[in-house]
Amino acid sequence: MTASIIDGFAAAAELREQVSREAAALKASHGVVPGLAVVLVGEDPASAVYVRNKLKATAECGLKSLEFKLSESATEEEVLALVKRLNADPAVHGILVQLPLPKQIDSDKVLGLIDPDKDVDGFHPVNAGRLSVGLPGFVPCTPRGSQILIDRILPDLSGKTAVVIGRSNIVGKPMAQLLLQKNATVTIAHSRTKDLPAVCRTADVLVAAVGRPLMVKGDWIKPGAIVIDVGINRIEVDGKGKIVGDVDFDSAKEVAGAITPVPRGVGPMTIACLMLNTLDSARRASGAA
């Protein structure tokens, strides 16, 4: 068996095109342009790249982007004041504070101050609670994108077994909640799970979100399973840097039924779902939802 490759790059392009059409329709019907405010504190190179990619996608989708840069020495009070101002701005429908923040700033305090109805990252405790009880709210972008990819392969998960490796608030826990909502039987595995390979082999859907390069081997995978690799890890191969996932793709693709590659898998879907969350926020604010 050789797995079919789940093309996240193509799926994300389709989703961005959908967002672009629907944003244009919202502007025509309600005079509203979805606005995304991105806050970058400090000079972290990786964060700068992420912000640049998000702003580029925002423009391509016909959304309005607002970038706010603060110095590495910015105080917590300055960041909190900016978030308060963005909360009060009706032209801002989504607020994204790029992590990590400098050490003098409490990330939890900053994220907790964001208006939950503008929390397009889906990190606010209110949105986490809404997800857990099945109420409308913002779902973190990576799990939402992963679920969209799963739906394209297997829309009905009733009676299926899903395993999520990783229990982070950003990916693992919300991913498990989404799979539960699809009527899968879900296990969250982590560093203290006994016999992790055996647990993984029970999964019809396996989501790897642990941050360990090439950890999941082909013999961990149930034949025919859907494998979603959320990991993005840089390793050295023959003296050159290479981006790989948490799954050993070469061995896994010989066992799985469908698998996301790294790159061009989940990554592009994350940014596309950020655009979708921002559009959803603007719809709700304008009464168009």
Residues serving a catalytic function are: 54, 98, 121
**Paired sense of beta strands 233-237 and 240-244, if any:** antiparallel
Torsion of CA 265, 232, 53, 137, to 10 degrees: 70
Among 131, 141, 80, residue whose Cα is nearest residue 279: 141
| C-beta separation of 110 from 231 below 8 A | no
In this structure, what token pair is assigned to residue 14? 């389709």
Among 248, 250, 208, residue whose Cα is nearest residue 227: 208
Query: What is the SS3 string spanning the chain?
Result: CCCEECCHHHHHHHHHHHHHHHHHHHHHHHCCCCEEEEEEECCCHHHHHHHHHHHHHHHHCCCEEEEEEECCCCCHHHHHHHHHHHHHCCCCCEEEECCCCCCCCCHHHHHHHCCHHHCCCCCCHHHHHHHHHCCCCCCCHHHHHHHHHHHHHCCCCCCCEEEEECCCCCCHHHHHHHHHHCCCEEEEECCCCCCHHHHHCCCCEEEECCCCCCCECHHHCCCCCEEEECCCEEEEECCEEEEECCECHHHHCCCCCEECCCCCCHHHHHHHHHHHHHHHHHHHHHCCC
